[in-house]
Amino acid sequence: MTEAVAPTAEAPAATLDMRFPGAVTPDTRAGYSGYVVTPEKLIEVATAARDEMGYDYLSSVTGVDYLTDGKLEAVYHLYRTSGGPALALKVQTPRDNPVVPSLVSIYPGADFQEREAYDMYGIRFAGHPNLKRILMWEGFGGWPLRKDWKEAYYEQDTKPFDTRWPGGHFYRSEEKNPFAHNVVYPEGFLPEGWVSEAEASQYPDISELEQGNGRGFKTDKIVVNLGPQHPSTHGVFRMVVTLDGETIVELHPVMGYLHRNHEKIGERNTWLQNMPFTDRLDYISSMSNNLGYALAVEKLQKLKVPERAEYIRVLMVELTRICNHMWAVGFLLNDLGAFFTPALYAIRERELILDFFEATAGSRMMCNYMRFGGVSRDIPEKMRDENTMDFINDMVFNRLPKAIDDLDTYLTENEIIRSRCLGVGVLPADQAIAYSTCGPLLRASGVPYDIRRAEPYSIYDRFDFKVCTRPNGDIYDRYLIRMDEMRESVKICQQVLRDMPAGGEIMAGKPQYNVRAPAGESYGRVEGPKGELGFYVVSTGKANPYRYHVRAPSFINLTVLGELCKGAKVADVVVILGSIDIVLGETDR
């Protein structure tokens, strides 16, 4: 009897509901998995999961609005960094007073994700150190992802809209429904002359100083806003930096300038319509985004992808990784002050890969290439009067390895780069895991966690490649890890080109535009170039997803930015941010 209770890797489930009888129950809804936990016991359960069962990595936190049940649900996906499937925990709370205990004390990586769930659903995470809106601004009324919330140009709950066909007399929605008419502000809010409390709270040190010495402003500490319009932020992103001389005392990232409620759009869309929208998340690596979403939905549909399509997918995704890392390395050098020469050398290779994407998918960046059960089109025979396979073979076997070596000789031993990067922005391994960082950022801190190995998807178990790690966790290692990963990706591409069946199906079944998925939930994740890209989808069996959540690596990797920058010099902030490698399309969604 005692043996059965002992926590084992194989049966964490049995131990969880046995350890917490009454508080933890298996999720028995059709198509669901994981456990439902009562809010009171969540902290205890999560602590046990982390300390006793080894679920040290909190991958995703999000909410779901079950409107008809009058409940909001917080969904957690926990993983072991040693690999294996997820432990999903759900906490239900009434819609009119949603309170869930915060997990920040156990998993610091929950910080931004809980803020996002609060921002979008109004779930209050009790005990969160800084619970305020993160993507929306403070003067925003309502909870944008709740099912009863309607956006400014709301037309209908789900697409396709009835006005388009057969009586599709065109009108412009802005004429019919001027923006100002349906904008909601919080109660008692006056748009004119209002200063956000959250904005004021970005500058705690100023107020401290003003109160502290009684003589008003002292100048040895100063608050500087880096961004939102600043070339070093790689988009529209702001860092509120408190400086003591040149040294960073505190840094708060401010984001959401590019927020478009991607997830709400996703829930209005049909399943298929979401595919081109995923391109626009991390627009540098749309192929990876396509794959992540396709996997999540295929998991629900239990679709098997044809052999050749699997190979094409892997080829595309690995080429995307090379593109992304070329871009990241090039622009890291830009951030260091090596203005554009290294970046352009790197981008040149990327251009050629994009040529191949364009010839195959029809677009360089917004590829919209994958479909549920395969890919949209086979690789074309000809590309610029040349055999396409010759082109890609030439790239993968000759040009790319040489280009990477070239970049290596060009940059790796450069003394300026070394002195700017070695030992700067260090992220220790335990902190990297605790903060839920992922991708190159995590592996550069010495954690060999790569989803392609930890929980293999597609056909990655067939390829011989190494999960690269570097031990120091500084900027230099984050640069090196990207070089390593590009080499591994080239290796995978070479194996794909060697083993790919010459012909055959590229789609399971007939292409369909009205795709449906059986009721249930699924969490599909891939090792994107920037880290773990996850899609949490809930289906009710209808033509549209009920819930569509994106676990964005760029967003979650930023959780640790403030910690990384503490004590660094102001000039290093730009480089530290560059070494994390973010894309704001994905951060802000």
- Residues interacting with other proteins, by CB under 8 A? 159-161, 163-170, 172, 269-270, 272-277, 341, 345, 348, 351-352, 355, 358-363, 366, 368, 376-377, 380-386, 391, 394-395, 398-399, 406, 409-416, 418, 511, 513-514
> How near is the Cβ of 164 to other proteins at its closest, in Å?
4
Q: Which is nearer to other proteins, 360 or 557 (CB)?
A: 360
Nearer to other proteins, 383 or 577 (CB): 383
For the bound state, the minimum distance from the C-beta of residue 379 to other proteins, rounded and expressed in Å, comes to 11
At residue 386's C-alpha, the angle toward residues 382 and 392, to 5°, is: 85
* Cβ nearer to other proteins, comparing 291 with 564: 291
Q: Which is nearer to other proteins, 370 or 447 (CB)?
A: 370
Output the smallest distance, CB 490 to other proteins, in A.
13
**Nearest-approach distance from CB 261 to other proteins, in angstroms:** 14
Distance between CA atoms of 349 and 149, rounded to whole angstroms?
A: 45
Are residues 576 and 563 in contact, defined by beta-carbon separation less than 8 angstroms? no
Peptide bond into 228 cis (omega under 30): yes
Q: Is 191 helix (H, G, I), strand (E, B) or coil?
A: coil
Which segments of 402-493 are extended strands (E)? none
Q: Which is nearer to other proteins, 164 or 542 (CB)?
A: 164
Q: Which is nearer to other proteins, 205 or 378 (CB)?
A: 378
In the complex, the smallest distance separating the C-beta of residue 512 from other proteins, rounded to whole angstroms, is 8
Provide the 3-class DSSP secondary structure of residue 382.
strand
Report, in Å, the least distance between residue 306 CB and other proteins: 18
Indicate the residue among 178 and 186 with the shorter CB distance to other proteins. Answer: 178
Distance in angstroms (rounded) separating the CA atoms of residues 431 and 15: 27
Which residue type does 509 have? G
Q: Taking Cα atoms as reference points, which of 547, 550, 549, 542 lies closest to residue 517?
A: 542
Per-residue DSSP letters for 91-142? Answer: EEEETTS-EEE--TTT-TTHHHHHHHHHHHH--EEET-TT-S-SSS-TT--S
Nearer to other proteins, 367 or 451 (CB): 367
Task: Pick between residue 282 and residue 527 the one whose CB is nearest to other proteins.
Answer: 282
DSSP 8-state symbol, 438: -
Please report how close the Cβ of residue 227 comes to other proteins at its closest, in angstroms.
27
CA–CA distance, 249 with 569 (Å, rounded to integer) = 10
As measured in angstroms, the least distance from the Cβ of 430 to other proteins is 32
CA pair distance 78, 80, nearest whole angstrom = 7
Exposed/middle/buried for residue 426 (C-beta within 10 Å: 0-12, 13-18, 19+): middle
CA distance 239 to 251: 6
Query: In angstroms, what is the C-alpha Rg of the chain?
Result: 24
Q: Among candidates 546, 488, 558, which has minimal Cα distance to 520?
A: 546
Three-class SS of residue 300? helix
CB of 183 to other proteins, least distance (A): 21
Nearest to other proteins of 52, 155 (CB atom): 155
**In angstroms, rounded to a whole number, what is the distance separating the alpha carbons of residues 510 and 503?**
17
CB of 560 to other proteins, least distance (A): 30
Q: Which tokens go with 40? A: 């009171």
Tokens 């000809």 sit on residue:
382
